[in-house]
Amino acid sequence: MSARILHPSEEPLRLGALATVLDGARMLALRSWHPDRYDVYHCAQRAWRAQNIPVPYSAIIYQLRRLVESGNVLAFNDAQGRSREDIAGLYAAARDHVLSQRPSGPVPPAPAAALDARLSA
């Protein structure tokens, strides 16, 4: 797939902020993901809202879709035998791709305690 970061609307996007949201979703997936009650979209949306930073939700979903077969995130979510670690791995891969696109390299992640507090709210 293309190495493009932006979703089709081509809005400017802060890559560090996008990576932070994806990492928050990764942590949520490890803690709360369930294929029927708290799916991959719930993790993404909750992390997105908790961060309170200007990242289009569609940019988050774009990063997930570019990594799964046929762009079908729900099929990935619902695959037999899928685990929290698998879902967290999807978010980690998306985060790592975003960070690799930063011209100055990775930005230090937000302190885990502060991020956990925002996600628990």
Residue by residue, pLDDT tens for the chain (121 residues) are 445 555 444 444 588 899 999 999 999 999 999 988 999 999 999 999 998 888 899 999 999 999 999 999 999 999 999 999 999 999 999 999 998 887 654 455 554 555 556 566 5
Phi, psi of 38 (to 5 degrees): -150, 75
CA distance 70 to 72: 5
- Predicted pLDDT at 109: 52
- Predicted pLDDT at 83: 97
- Predicted pLDDT at 119: 60
- Predicted pLDDT at 4: 54
The conformational region for residue 10 under phi > 0 = left, psi -120 to 50 = alpha, else beta, is left
Query: Closest by alpha carbon to 37, among 102, 81, 84, 99?
Result: 84
In this structure, what DSSP letter does residue 51 have?
H
